[in-house]
Amino acid sequence: MSRKPVHLAVYDTLADWETGFAAAHLARGGYEVRTVGASADRPVTSIGGLRIVPDLALDSVRPEDSSLLILPGADLWDAGDDLAPFARTARAFLAAGTPVAAICGATAGLAREGLLDDRDHTSAVSFYLAATGYGGGPRYVETDAVTDGLLVTAGPTEPVAFAREILRLLGVYEGEVLDAWYRLFHDSDAQAYAVLEKAAAR
């Protein structure tokens, strides 16, 4: 069965480590991962100095053509309004019934857009989001990652939990296989590998 691609937003200062687990295992699970920038012809540079040429421009991405929009953290989320168009795109995705996953600074972008006011969510710390002036404080959850309907959120130190929620949401892994995947990559539990190997052989 043909799957719609996953769209991964890329912009200057994006945090390299935050989406690697998700992107790699989505690709292994049969999803094409396409990068989306403000412009398709302007390379961006990550915090780690990686130079990325986006596959697509943001204004050409439509929710109905996507399985998921992933928004990584970046210094730019807190340095002005340069990334506000990505938060507005997240609003359009959610309104159309297409999932969105945001981690670290991207959660602040969604807070400023009003997308966390009525959804359970998490981030780096509660006062980080409170500084945006958003109205969702009572819905903040102190945990590694949160899924509320079609929205996944996580803090910057939880790339594996972030990926876990995405993989669950899209049905890449489920049940004991998802649990084993998390235990292997988060806890270095060698016993979990056997569960994954058995599942792969089926």
Determine the distance from the C-alpha atom of residue 45 to the mean position of all C-alpha atoms in its chain, rounded to a whole number: 18
Matching residue, tokens 């998700």? 22
Looking at the structure, tell me whether residues 154 and 184 fall in a common domain: no
Domain, as residue range, for 21: 6-171
Percent of the chain having pLDDT more than 90? 97
Looking at the structure, tell me whether residues 123 and 33 fall in a common domain: yes
Looking at the structure, tell me whether residues 187 and 89 fall in a common domain: no
Is the pLDDT reported for residue 189 higher than 50? yes
**How far apart (Å, rounded) are the C-alpha atoms in residues 159 and 18?**
5
**How far apart (Å, rounded) are the C-alpha atoms in residues 6 and 202?**
25
Looking at per-residue pLDDT, the higher value among 1 and 120 belongs to 120
Stretch 81-86: mean pLDDT, rounded? Answer: 97
Catalytic residue set? 104
pLDDT digit string, tens, across residues 85-117: 999 999 999 999 999 999 999 999 999 999 999
> How much is the pLDDT for 2?
65
Looking at the structure, tell me whether residues 16 and 72 fall in a common domain: yes
Looking at the structure, tell me whether residues 202 and 141 fall in a common domain: no
> How much is the pLDDT for 199?
87
Total domains in the chain come to 2
Q: How many CA atoms lie within 13 A of 165 on its CB side?
A: 27
Domain presence at residue 82: yes
Looking at per-residue pLDDT, the higher value among 2 and 103 belongs to 103
**How far apart (Å, rounded) are the C-alpha atoms in residues 156 and 144?**
10
Looking at the structure, tell me whether residues 15 and 103 fall in a common domain: yes
Looking at the structure, tell me whether residues 55 and 146 fall in a common domain: yes
Looking at the structure, tell me whether residues 35 and 72 fall in a common domain: yes
Cβ-contact 11, 38 below 8 angstroms: yes
Is the pLDDT reported for residue 1 higher than 50? no
